[in-house]
Structure 1
């Protein structure tokens, strides 16, 4: 396998049906080597994806004051709109050049996680926004469950090991818009960072700009085939696996000066466990060569809160 993501063959999730162990090995090895994998035939319908792109662009084209009406002050960006230049990567000196919208899991009234997972906010327009993204959230959820099953197999766990962990999990679908930038803007649209969650499923990486930091210190551009999904390890999975599966640092760089007048859109799905899931190092990942880095377990809710403070979405 070549050590550039541009050359890594996209794995077909359809292969999981006929050869679950073979797919799990290929997917897990990509995760262990890069913290990333490229997956095609992921099962999210193309017509739904195209409808979601149209809705995303239509929303971000709305007047600034209309979008800001959906910004919840003090809400940590959990739901609704987060304005341009709000989020900053941990340790970064420049805020990210992006605006975004968050959609979470629809919970029934009185659900036990109601206090930890905010209700969704829905804009008045574009028409069909709510229905489109509830459907897309469910499709991402299904794909994510299949990929977690592969990871469980790779780690020597039961294929359904993650099922209770992510049932009613605090996952978030983010609609991202990187507006056109000035020729002298900082070199990154989104600073170098790691994701917080278990795994991230990303559509929209075909547009140039996404890069990962390889273990030799080189930045590798991520260029998946059209329609393929980029999947990466988040910090919760890294912690759970005692760094056997690494949460790789990644960023979104600005395009060449002649392309900076163009917007960039992407749709990451941050797959989270339930708030009460205890992130406790898996015993099989603890060895003499790799001692337990995290002897104190932590709930997913407490870990998420710590990280949201670090990136400026929640104020101390």
Structure 2
């Protein structure tokens, strides 16, 4: 990463909560051990267990220092604190029309519940930062954002994909070859900022900021930040909080990975809720790297996997040729999210549904 030479305002994150809350017991993977064949074989088993049982795990040893992360958080705040509302409007993503998040998603775009709309703002940048233009305040930092995206792709995503392929007993470059750096894909960096809501909105939504959902890509990479708000739906039907670990990464699988693995690697349901009382006055600034296969990859099960042949797998489509391309799936999911009218499930309480590309997509209220 280049030395930070551009002056920047410092974003001060919230202190870690001291509230007693029910944290999920997630596996911690030390990625630095993946540099040897023996290390990858060992880690592959750990990742396989974590992804097939929980769908989430922590990642340490990823080669990015605490100081580098602090710098990136300062950069992440710029699209929100240093760009006027008027200029933001010029860079709003035409999400519903194009199925792409590139640019701003401004507050109150998503419907949450009870007539309440969201209070989260995000700015999305393709891993190729030159894919589109950016607000003036962001432009001096594009070289650093590009280096961050490359690090997230080459030094975090690529090793994870190798381990997950080994877990399926496939050649370790199987998933890697579907996630090119120089190919056409929507893999992107997201800077995301949640703002505190009114007591009235909290009551109407039962303190839910984003309904329970699955991500639509293959792998989601979240750089841990201190405001407790993220929860996952555990196998026993309870919501567990995700604990902040300094300079760790939180990794989860999405729909596309569940399709490719025939349901073996779970797209875990997660949501965002109001933080504990001692953090409610703070904004919540996050950095993500959302990963998708190349646009032209068919999201059909990798039936060549010896593991899947032994344990069985699920098909969402009768024939592989009926499976959507990554391009089709991400456009349909992106344009629909928070915009469509959902139907209540006939089978599960508190669950709302929509049908996308013939697949029932669930939202947990």
TM-score by length of 1: 0.86
Task: Give the alignment partner of residue 125 of structure 2, picking from 103, 107, 123.
Answer: 103
2:255 maps to 235
For residue 103 of structure 1, report the CA deviation from its aligned partner: 0.6
Alignment match of 2:87 (pick from 66, 76, 98):
66
Measure how far apart 1:308 and its partner are.
1.6
Taking the aligned partners of 1:245 and 1:309, their CA distance within structure 2 comes to 25
How far residue 224 of structure 1 moved from its aligned partner, in angstroms, is 3.8
**Structure 2 partner of 1:122:** 134
Instruction: State how far apart, in whole Å, the 2-side matches of 1:9 and 1:76 are.
Output: 34
| Contact 2:221/2:252, CA 8 A, preserved across alignment | yes
2:191 paired residue number: 175
Aligned match of 1:137 = 149
Structure 1 residue 228, shift from structure 2 partner = 0.4
What residue is the counterpart of 1:147 in the other structure? Answer: 160
SS of match in other structure, 1:130: helix
User: Any conservation in 1 of the 2:129–2:142 contact (CA below 8 Å)?
Assistant: no
**CA root-mean-square deviation:** 2.6
User: After the TM superposition, which of the residue ranges 268-277 and 65-74 deviates more from structure 2?
Assistant: 65-74
Q: Pairwise mapping of residues 148-227 of structure 1 onto structure 2 (< 5 A)?
A: 148-167=161-180, 168=183, 169-186=185-202, 187-227=207-247
Please say if residues 239 and 294 of structure 1, whose CA atoms lie closer than 8 Å, have aligned partners that are also in contact: no
Secondary structure (helix, strand or coil) at the match of 2:201 reads: coil
Q: Are the structure 2 counterparts of residues 293 and 80 from structure 1 closer, same or farther at C-alpha, using a change threshold of 3 Å?
A: closer
Cα distance, 1:95 vs. partner?
3.6
Gaps of 5+ in 1: 109-118
Distance 1:107 1:6, change over 3 A: closer
1:286–1:292 Cα contact (<8 Å) kept: no
Contact 2:219/2:252 (8 A) holds in 1: yes
Is 1:308 aligned with 2:334? yes
Paired residues of 1:98 and 1:190 also in contact (CA < 8 A): no
CA-CA distance at 1:225 after TM superposition: 1.5
In structure 2, stretches of 5+ residues that fail to align are 1-21, 342-355, 357-365
> TM-score scaled to structure 2, two decimals?
0.75
Q: Which has the larger radius of gyration?
A: 2
Instruction: Give the structure 2 partner of residue 116 of structure 1.
Output: none
For residues 59-106 of structure 1, the C-alpha deviation after alignment (integer angstroms, 9 at most, x for no partner) is 2113322322321444545211111121357x9975432110011132
